[in-house]
């Protein structure tokens, strides 16, 4: 069952919409309902191609078959039958094409130029979409830095002015890259969203810079800047007024038996008199 009809084609009958969404020539009750395979001869330049195709196929389907045989894109073709160019939506049998019919294939430079322009638009759109995606990733990273600085300043800390200046420079660079991107439709919408986000980050960073400049200098900043030698020189030393150090020694004790044995040994030792008689001189 056909899904409906559309406007009438000039001199070729009405068009209908197939279930797949393709608009083709509408068949009438008088048209043949028996499909069959026919062989047509298509001339392209000085070469002839014989193509087997269903008689109820469209010229657009024939073009796709010829694209593989000739290397010409099917959108760049135009088929001439009985000295008349046939639309891609028209059926072969309803246009009078029969077995062994002769057709002429030509390249359409206008269609080729339109297709190439469309391809350039698609490539430009993809390039712009990728560029915006890269910028979005960088903005997300820079927004994280901005949030970290805001947290430090909000707790009473102070951020170096150079860090804030570098963040502002990176945000402005991303904004300049975004301005260089052109596009319509979805690309334009995505670009506008990133522009608004960058503007909010820049305004927030300006306010944060003002708040940071009014923050008091933290007391621990000077100590944090000390070198290792300076830190070591500030360590406390032992003064003469400090209390003396008492060193205790734990003496080992022995039992009474060992002590008595030692005493007996000492008592048995007697002095030894010299055996030689020394002569004395006045």
Taking 80 as the threshold, does the pLDDT of residue 3 lie above it?
no
User: What whole-number distance in Å separates Cα of residue 25 and Cα of residue 5?
Assistant: 9
Q: What rounded mean pLDDT belongs to the chain?
A: 78
CB atoms near residue 77 (< 10 Å): 23
pLDDT tier for residue 7 given thresholds of 50, 70 and 90: very low
Residue 58: Cβ-neighbour burial (10 angstroms; 0-12, 13-18, 19+)? buried
Q: Does 126 fall in a domain?
A: yes
Q: What's 277's DSSP letter?
A: P
89 and 58 assigned to the same domain: yes
95 and 137 assigned to the same domain: no
Taking 70 as the threshold, does the pLDDT of residue 53 lie above it?
yes
Percent of the chain with pLDDT over 90: 49
Domain that holds residue 200: 114-213
103 and 118 assigned to the same domain: no
Q: For residue 163, what is the domain's CATH number?
A: 1.20.58.120
Instruction: Tally helices (H) and strands (E) across the chain.
Output: 7, 8
Q: For residue range 80-135, what is the model confidence (pLDDT) as tens digits?
A: 999 999 998 999 989 899 999 999 999 989 988 999 999 999 999 999 999 999 99
Q: What's 178's DSSP letter?
A: H
What are 178's two structure tokens? 């975004």
> What pTM value is reported for the model?
0.52
pLDDT tier for residue 245 given thresholds of 50, 70 and 90: low
Q: Can you give the pLDDT at residue 278?
A: 60
Q: How many domains is the chain partitioned into structurally?
A: 2
User: What whole-number distance in Å separates Cα of residue 44 and Cα of residue 71?
Assistant: 11
Q: For residue range 210-239, what is the model confidence (pLDDT) as tens digits?
A: 998 887 766 544 444 444 445 455 555 544
Which of 107, 129, 144 lies at the terminal end of a domain, its last residue? 107
148 and 172 assigned to the same domain: yes
Q: Quick one: which of 205, 72, 142 has its CA closest to 62?
A: 72
Which of 184, 213, 242 lies at the terminal end of a domain, its last residue? 213
Q: Can you give the pLDDT at residue 213?
A: 87
């Amino acid at each position: 069952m056909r899904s409906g009809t559309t406007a009438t084609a000039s001199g070729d009958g009405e068009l209908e919409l197939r279930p797949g969404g393709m608009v083709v020539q509408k068949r009438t009750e008088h048209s043949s309902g028996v499909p069959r395979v026919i062989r047509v001869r298509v001339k392209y330049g000085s070469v002839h191609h014989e193509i087997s195709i269903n008689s109820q196929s469209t010229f657009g389907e024939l073009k796709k078959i010829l694209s593989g045989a000739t290397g010409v894109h099917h959108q760049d073709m135009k088929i001439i039958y009985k000295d008349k160019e046939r639309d891609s939506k028209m059926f072969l049998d309803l246009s009078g094409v029969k077995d062994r019919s002769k057709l002429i294939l030509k390249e359409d430079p206008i269609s080729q130029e339109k297709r190439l322009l469309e391809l350039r638009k698609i490539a430009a759109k993809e390039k712009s979409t990728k560029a915006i995606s890269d910028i979005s990733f960088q903005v997300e990273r820079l927004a994280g830095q901005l949030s970290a600085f805001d947290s430090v300043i909000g707790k009473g800390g102070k951020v170096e002015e150079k860090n804030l200046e570098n963040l502002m420079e990176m945000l402005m660079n991303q904004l300049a890259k975004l301005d260089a991107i052109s596009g319509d439709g979805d690309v334009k919408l995505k670009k506008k969203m990133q522009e608004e986000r960058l503007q909010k980050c820049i305004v927030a960073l300006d306010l944060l810079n003002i708040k940071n400049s009014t923050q008091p200098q933290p007391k621990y900043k000077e100590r944090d800047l000390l070198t290792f030698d300076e830190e070591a020189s500030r360590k406390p030393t032992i003064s003469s007024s400090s209390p003396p150090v008492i060193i205790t020694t734990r003496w080992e004790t022995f039992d009474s038996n060992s002590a008595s044995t030692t005493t007996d040994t000492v008592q048995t030792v007697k002095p030894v008199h010299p055996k030689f008689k020394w002569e004395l001189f006045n």
